[in-house]
Amino acid sequence: MRIEICAIGRLRSGPEKTLIDDYLARGAASGRALSLTGFRLTEAEEKRALSGDALKAAEAALLKSNIARGSKTVMLDERGKLEGSASFANRLGQWRDNGTQDLTFIIGGADGLDADFRDSADHLMAFGPMTWPHMLVRVLLAEQLYRAVSILSGHPYHRV
């Protein structure tokens, strides 16, 4: 199963980018044996000239254009499901085992996701009720993907 993160905005060089690159590389290296591949980040340009619903609709169109045809979509949203790392790993493993070929995680812009686009998600997930900077959400997601791979492989990175 190919895993991709698709996000609004460009990440500049710095500690966040270093962390994301590291966790995605770890996930890719460890995931191969589990038939989990890809582990890449695709970024879509922000539409700063727009606002409100027009902005969200334009960002949704950009995000949609970067999603592989037939991909299962997981959108990060404050209304999403809260789950622990082990549950997330199990969900990832089930999708893989049920034949999902492409899995795309969507991180919207600062104003959130277009409602219709959000409603089309196969799954909504959240990292808690707090608001997180979108660049840190990328780091959190990349780390949790690597953690899920380590859980599925029985690696001791995840300790309970």
CATH code assigned at 109: 3.40.1280.10
Mean pLDDT of the chain: 94
Highest mean pLDDT among 9-13, 41-45, 121-125, 132-136: 121-125
Q: Does residue 6 surpass a pLDDT of 70?
A: yes
Q: What pLDDT is attached to residue 110?
A: 87
Average pLDDT for 12-35: 96
Q: Does residue 142 surpass a pLDDT of 80?
A: yes
Q: How large a percentage of the chain has pLDDT more than 90? A: 84
Which pTM was predicted? Answer: 0.94
Q: What pLDDT is attached to residue 160?
A: 62
> What is the per-residue DSSP string for 2-60?
EEEEEEESPPPSSHHHHHHHHHHHHHHHHHGGGT-EEEEEEEE---TT--HHHHHHHHH
User: pLDDT digits over 95-132, tens only?
Assistant: 999 999 999 999 999 889 999 999 999 999 999 988 88
Q: Number of structural domains, the chain? A: 1
Residue 64, domain member (yes or no): yes
Strands laid side by side in the 72-81 sheet: 37-44, 2-8, 102-107, 72-81, 123-125
Residue 158, domain member (yes or no): no
Residue 160, domain member (yes or no): no
Residue 53, domain member (yes or no): yes
- Burial code (b: 16+ CB inside 10 Å, e: under 16) for 90-116 equals ebbbebbeeebebbbbbbbbeeebbee
Domain ranges, residue 54:
2-153
Q: Which residue has the higher pLDDT, 156 or 17?
A: 17
Residue 159, domain member (yes or no): no
Q: What pLDDT is attached to residue 50?
A: 83
Q: How large a percentage of the chain has pLDDT more than 70? A: 99
Q: Does residue 48 surpass a pLDDT of 80?
A: no
